[in-house]
Structure 1
């Protein structure tokens, strides 16, 4: 059995983490086992399931600059204690430089950097991340990405392996009964235009613009409602903006949810005005659920594999967004179960073999 060390921040219920779990559930675990090196001291949403599938979870120090000496000390000891890891696969974008540098120093032969985005968060580590981005080729010897744009961003001029952000489609197919049940549970009637968003409450997802859009939609459509699913560092600022616009009664903050597939059924339109994205997993899930989507054109068009997608520029102005959203309010929902959809590269029943074969082929190179 090959044990792969998957490097993440944590294994909470978010796009990247959910994608990894989709692969983990479907690969042949008699041949390949995932273990997870996290950078948070706490247990995460998927930890129990990981352990039930035979995986191990390790907690490294957080990747704060002041922790770097302790981090490299921990990693040195970690690889001394765990010589079984011949493949390390890091999913933390530019920050992958740090675990891959430690892995290279420890002699780990296969070091994969994986790009999941097309830009860098402008947080306090932004200058370091820009530096680390340019240093990745010094420590990685293989590259992977969720899409063309993401790969070209983090690894310009490099060849990289496309690993699709695949999902388990049967969980997301439209169900009229579930739609009625969830809309009733959430206090919605047929008169409500329900706009949904699923994503971390962060700079990248551009909730400030989303709230502005909804404010104007609500003026034209008083029965409109906005549902925000997710948690994050911008939650306080987003709630403040909602209060200041007197939208408290019309915006629901649902936090972290395990029933996102059912929530999609209750929505009428999914809106994602992101500042940057790789290939958002939620963009795949919504299409399988037959939900009309409005994305910013910062979301790579590679995400589109149905007619449900609409792309607008953030420079188009509020009116373009408002009109597009309102135009979709009566769009019919249908069960998206057809051969074209099921043969999509985003169907995990097909895609798992891409990652499985990738690992197996890399491991053979060691012999």
Structure 2
């Protein structure tokens, strides 16, 4: 048997973000004797060690924020000119994928995938303007388009969205099934009583996740039930300011900052409800995981309804509504103890299914040169399969 097909995934770093978690879930579940993942990153990430252990390679170049536009382009061009062994590059940098794929196209790499994971850009006016400029190259430089949801596809690809395929953010649902024993153990570890109300959130501390509004909602929840706690899982640039706000609102003894965790599947068992008032999202894998654990989720109505697995666990709120209404909605929900595995599989969120789809997708791109199979035949069959 020959060497596996090596796919180059392009990210800023391999930390525990939504897109990065999905990539690792896919990587763990593909047949690595057939397909291997390598990575082009700009910074160290918590998954780097595991990637190496799974047989992947982690390349690194400086990021644009550190070296500026022209030096970043220079590093990209140099990398792709040296590494022409890659036939498929898969970029997960949203609008910045335009810059990356332009360099890959210039180097003659035949298959250049742009993957949309979001519905908006982060950053100030200059950053957003630059990303708009970068995104303009996707239309000309991407050979293939993939998105996590219809909204994410519309945002990044515009009129080209008709050419995009939807790859669901799958999870290993067996790891997230609710367990009374695990729930009790995690609460004991966190020094929480079994009858406390635990509101949870998993996400990076950035503007998109709307942590300030989340704290305001929790302030109202405390008024209704004094035995309530808020668990915040993640890290990010706004973490310090959110900690300060928790102190200012007198909530520090009720809010636990748990940092980056590798045991999200365990932590979810201790939650009673997931609170997710994001300003924009693609399709958050965290919400699929939460539903896998039987958690009711109160989320902002800007999040696509494609995230709903159909288990009656999603409730929507408008971020312009008073925080008291959000709090009342949270208090009206009860944790579900039923097994939601069948819902996850039926909706196409089984990671084994999505990993198999992606593996076949990659392997059907390369044989096109030998006229072994047409891409159009594969896309029609596989697109329906992934939709579930």
Q: Distance in 2 between matches of 1:250 and 1:65?
A: 38
- After TM superposition, give the deviation of residue 291 of structure 1 in Å: 0.7
Q: Give the one of 194, 218, 225 matched to 2:198.
A: 194
Query: What is the TM-score of this pair, normalised by structure 1?
Result: 0.96
2:68 partner SS: helix
Residue in structure 2 matching 1:293, options 276, 290, 297: 297
Q: Within the alignment, does 1:215 sit opposite 2:207 as a pair?
A: no
Q: C-alpha separation between the residues in 2 aligned to 1:140 and 1:331?
A: 43
8 Å contact kept, 2:294–2:335: no
Pairing 1:167–2:171 present: yes
Structure 1 residue 258, shift from structure 2 partner: 0.6
Query: CA 1:351/1:222 → structure 2, altered by over 3 Å: closer, same or farther?
Result: same
| Structure 2 counterpart of 1:47 | 48
Is the 2:64–2:71 contact (alpha carbons within 8 Å) kept by the matching residues of 1? no
Residues 90-117 of structure 1, C-alpha deviations (whole Å, 9 max, x = no match): 0010111121111111111111111000
Aligned to 2:384: none
* 1:107 correspondence with 2:108: yes
Q: Which runs of 5+ in 1 are unaligned?
A: none
Superposed CA deviations along residues 187-243 of structure 1, whole A, max 9, x for unmatched, are: 111331110000000000000100000011112211111000000011111111111
Contact 2:102 2:137 in 1 (8 A): no
* Contact 2:275/2:297, CA 8 A, preserved across alignment: yes
- 1:315 aligns to 2:317 (yes or no): no
SS of the counterpart of 2:7? strand
Q: Secondary structure at the match of 1:316?
A: coil
The 8 Å contact of residues 118 and 153 in structure 1, kept in 2 or not, is answered as yes
Secondary structure in structure 1 of the residue aligned to 2:159:
coil
Displacement of 1:73 after TM fit?
Answer: 2.1
Residue 58 (structure 1) aligns with: 59
Q: Please tell me whether the aligned partners of residues 79 and 106 of structure 1 are also in contact (alpha carbons under 8 angstroms).
A: yes
**SS of alignment partner, residue 314 of structure 1:** coil
Displacement of 1:136 in angstroms is 1.7
Could you report, residue by residue, the CA deviation over 1:98-140 in whole angstroms, capped at 9, with x for unpaired residues? 2111111111111111100011113351211122223321221
Alpha-carbon distance in structure 2 between the residues aligned to 1:83 and 1:259 = 38
Contact 1:175–1:335 (8 Å) recurs in 2:
no
Match of 1:132 in 2: 134
| CA distances 1:253-290 after superposition (whole Å, capped 9, x unpaired) | 00000111100000001000000000001011001110
Aligned residue in 1 for 2:187: 183
Pair 1:206 & 2:210 matched = yes
Q: Does 1:257 align with 2:261?
A: yes
Q: How does 1:10-49 map to 2 (within 5 A)?
A: 10-40=13-43, 42=44, 44-49=45-50
What is the alpha-carbon distance in structure 2 between the residues aligned to residue 259 and residue 331 of structure 1?
Answer: 20
Match of 2:277 among 273, 277, 280: 273
> Which string of whole-angstrom CA distances, capped at 9 and with x for unpartnered residues, describes residues 11-59 of structure 1?
112211111011111112122111000121x3x2111111111100001
What are structure 2's unaligned runs of at least 5 residues?
Answer: 371-388
2: CA distance between counterparts of 1:242 and 1:319?
A: 18
Which secondary structure state, in structure 2, belongs to the residue aligned with residue 248 of structure 1? coil
Q: TM-score, normalised by structure 2?
A: 0.90
In 2, the alpha carbon distance for the partners of 1:68 and 1:316 equals 41
Give secondary structure in 2 for the equivalent of 1:33: strand
- Residue 66 (structure 1) shift: 4.5
CA distance in structure 2 between the aligned counterparts of 1:80 and 1:134, rounded to whole angstroms? 23
